[in-house]
Amino acid sequence: MVKKLFISDCEGPLSLNDNAFELAAHFIPQGEEFFRRVSLYDDYLVEEVKKPGYHAGDTLKLIAPFLKAYGATNQKIIDFSKENILLVPGAQETVQLIQDMMPTYIISTSYQQYIQALTQTLDFPLENTYFTTIDLDQHQLPEAEIDTLHQFREEIVAGADFNLMDDIFFKHLSTLESGKIIQAVKTVGGEGKKLALQDILKANAAPSSGFLYVGDSITDVEPLRFARENNSLAISFNGNEYAIRESNLAVISPHTLIISLLADLYFKFNQDYLLQFVEAYSKDPEQALYNYRINLTLLEQFETIFQDQELPQVEIITTENQNDITSKSIDYRKKIRGEIIGGLG
- 173 and 30 inside one domain: yes
Tell me whether residue 225 is exposed, middle or buried, using C-beta atoms within 10 angstroms of its C-beta: 0 to 12, 13 to 18, 19 or more: middle
- Say yes or no: 28 and 68 in one domain: yes
Provide the pLDDT for residue 328: 96
Report if residue 93 sits inside a domain.
no
> Which residue, 256, 36, 65, 265, is CA-closest to 150?
65
Phi-psi region of 206 (alpha: psi -120 to 50; beta: other; left: phi over 0): beta
Specify whether 180 is located in the same domain as 43: yes
- Virtual CA dihedral for 84, 117, 256, 186, nearest 10 degrees? 100
Are 166 and 242 in a shared domain?
A: no
Whether residue 144 sits in one domain with residue 172: yes
Pairwise CA distance, residues 52 & 197, whole Å: 21
φ/ψ (deg, to 5) at 248: -110, -10
Give the C-alpha separation, 246 to 258, whole Å: 20
| Residues 75, 145: Cα–Cα separation, whole Å | 22
In a domain, 294, yes or no: yes
- Rounded to an integer, what distance in angstroms lies between the CA atom of residue 226 and that of residue 268? 23
For residue 217, CA distances in Å to 103, 239, 340 come to 23, 6, 14
Residues 141 and 62 in one domain: yes
DSSP letters of 232-285?
A: SEEEEES--HHHHHH-SEEEE-SSTHHHHHHHHHHHHS-HHHHHHHHHHHHH-H
Position 111 in a domain? no
Q: Specify whether 166 is located in the same domain as 308.
A: no
Specify if 325 maps to a domain. Answer: yes
Which of 237, 268, 183 has the alpha carbon at shortest distance from 14? 237
**274 and 201 fall within a common domain:** yes
Do residues 48 and 5 touch, judged by C-beta distance below 8 A?
no
The answer on 299 and 240 residing in a single domain is yes
Please report whether residue 145 resides in a domain. yes
**Domain annotation covers residue 344:** no
For position 173, which CATH number holds?
1.10.3870.10
**Which residues lie below 8 Å from residue 207, measured CB to CB, with a gap of 6+?**
2, 3, 201
- Spatial distance between the Cα atoms of 156 and 158, rounded to a whole number of angstroms: 5
Q: For residue 216, which of 55, 38, 41, 9 has the smallest C-alpha distance?
A: 9
CATH number of 260's domain:
3.40.50
Give pLDDT tens digits along the chain (345 positions).
Answer: 568 999 999 999 999 999 999 999 999 999 999 999 999 999 999 999 999 999 999 999 999 999 999 999 999 999 999 999 999 999 999 999 999 999 999 999 999 999 999 999 999 999 999 999 999 999 999 999 999 999 999 999 999 999 999 999 999 999 999 999 999 999 998 899 999 999 999 999 999 999 999 999 999 999 999 999 999 999 999 999 999 999 999 999 999 999 999 999 999 999 999 999 999 999 999 999 999 999 999 999 999 999 988 899 999 999 999 999 999 999 999 999 887 787 776
Domain final position from 119, 153, 184: 184
Q: Give pLDDT tens digits for 210-253.
A: 999 999 999 999 999 999 999 999 999 999 999 999 999 999 99
Indicate if 301 and 169 belong to the same structural domain: no
In the chain, the N- to C-terminal Cα span, in Å, equals 38
Residue type, 65: P
| DSSP one-letter code for 49 | I
CB 68 within 8 A of CB 57: no
**Domains of the chain: total:** 2
The range of the structural domain enclosing residue 140 comes to 18-84+135-184
Domain contains 233: yes
Using CA atoms, how far apart are residues 152 and 82, in angstroms rounded to an integer?
A: 30
Q: Could you say which of 144, 161, 184 is where a domain stops?
A: 184
Which residues does residue 7 pair with via DSSP β-bridges, in sequence order?
A: 105, 213
Give the C-alpha separation, 260 to 258, whole Å. Answer: 5
Q: DSSP states of 154-215 as a string? A: HHHHTT--HHHHHHIIIIIGGGSHHHHHHHH-B---THHHHHHHHHHHHHTT--TTSEEEEE
Residues 141, 255, single domain; the answer is no
Contact 259, 251 (CB under 8 A): yes
pLDDT digits (tens, 9 = 90+) for 174-188: 999 999 999 999 999
Task: Please tell me whether residues 29 and 163 are part of one structural domain.
Answer: yes
